[in-house]
Structure 1
């Protein structure tokens, strides 16, 4: 399995630990694993699910079976927070999630055990601005500020990994 697939798998595993796996991402990940030659029973079972109708709790269970079959241990809480935060930031920066969704997903930085908890007031201020001043619809300024925060988070995580 290449590094990108492993990163995606670990991020989805962390998301399932903290909240719920994203059923669509989990199914698509399983399909990509199959294409890459990872054809275990659990991967096949998850890939065979409907990305549109798979309930989150079933996605969690299927994903747990995949990670168990592949021998991936559950990440510790600070690691799970970092994985979900990094994945969210990457999705914000590549515009694969709307700014409105990304803003709220970054609340993960305030999760217990987060190495990024000092950024929670910044996330909360952006979310309050989004909801209170912009009626839930991001404008260009909020998108710019959110992208800057995403880059800050990724840079801090990269600096922390190289230390």
Structure 2
């Protein structure tokens, strides 16, 4: 399995650990695993699900079966937070999620044990401005500030990865 697939698998694993896996992402990931030649029973079962209609509970259960089948242990909490924060930051920067979704998604930095918890005030300030001042609709200034925060998170993630954790 290549590094990109492993990283995607770890991100969904982290999402399931802290909240819930994204059913669409989990199914698409299983399909990509099949294409890459990873074809265990659990992978096939998840890939055969509907990305549109798979309930979250079933996505979590099926993803857990895939992870067990592949022998991937659960990450520790700080690692899970870092994976989700970096993934959310990348999605903000590439435009695959809206600023509104991304802003709230970055609240993950506040989890206990997070090495990014010092960024929680910045996330909270952006979310407060989004909800209170902008009534839930991001403007260009908020998008610019959010992109800067996303770059900070990615730079910190790279620094941490370079230190081995």
TM-score by length of 1: 0.98
Aligned to 1:90: 90
Structure 1 position 102 matched with structure 2 position 102: yes
Post-superposition offset of 1:162: 1.6
Match of 1:13 in 2: 13
**Structure-2 residue corresponding to 1:145:** 145
In structure 1, list runs of 5 or more residues that go unmatched: none
Q: Give the Cα separation in 2 of the matches to 1:142 and 1:4.
A: 30
Q: Does 1:154 align with 2:147?
A: no
Matched, 1:52 2:47: no
Report the equivalent of 1:119: 119
- CA-atom RMSD, angstroms? 0.6
Residues paired across the two proteins, number? 163
**Take 2:44 and 2:30, find their aligned partners in 1: how far apart are those partners?**
7
1:70, distance to aligned residue in structure 2 (A): 0.3
Superposition TM-score, scaled by structure 2 size: 0.97
* Structure 1, 10-19 or 152-161: larger mean CA deviation: 152-161
Q: Structure 2: 5+ residue runs without aligned partners?
A: none
Alpha-carbon separation, structure 2, partners of 1:161 and 1:24: 28
Shift of 1:139: 0.8
CA distance in 2, matches of 1:159, 1:6: 20
| Match of residue 66 from structure 1 | 66
